[in-house]
Structure 1
Amino acid sequence: METVITVAVIILMIAMGMFLIHLLNAQHDERIAAFHYSEAPRGSGRRSRPSRQPPNPLNRP
């Protein structure tokens, strides 16, 4: 009887682990789908380059 309970507990733990991995994979897939590869993520360390033209103080072209 103890063997049956032990095997049942092991199977239950494996099933719970599989379910947890499934949930984590689904969450990861949602994050990947939401990320736009064409945009730099915030805080990536990239800085915009300063413009080569001096600022026009009179706002005229």
Structure 2
Amino acid sequence: MSNVETVITVAVVLAVIAMGIFLIHQLNAQHDARIASFHYGEAIQGLGRRRRPRRRRPATGPPGPPEAGTHGDQHDGGRG
């Protein structure tokens, strides 16, 4: 290859790299704009999980200290 062909090849490679950098920059800006406009708290109708009605828990016993032999006495100190 002659010097002229080498210079042209290097110029073409640098131009392709510059176009790639510009394209990646534009795609990142578009992606950032899309993320900024998306509201995570709002649900899109027809997508996502369906909400089930909440079940009410049955009332527990009267408030007060736990009875003997209940959860408070079952602590094993964290050993398996």
Structure 2: where are the runs of 5+ without partners?
56-80
Q: 1 or 2 for the larger relative contact order (CA 8 Å, sep ≥6)?
A: 1
Count of residues in correspondence between the two structures: 51
The letter of the residue matching 1:38 is G
- Of 2, 24, 33, the residue aligned with 2:5 is 2
Give the Cα separation in 2 of the matches to 1:35 and 1:25. Answer: 16
CA shift digits 1:3-32 (9 cap, x unpaired): 000000000000000010011001100110
Higher-helix-fraction structure = 1
Structure 1: where are the runs of 5+ without partners?
53-61
Residue 21 (structure 1) aligns with = 24
TM-score, normalization by structure 1: 0.70
Within 5 A, what are the aligned runs for 1:1-61?
A: 1-42=4-45, 43-44=47-48, 46-50=49-53
TM-score, normalization by structure 2: 0.55
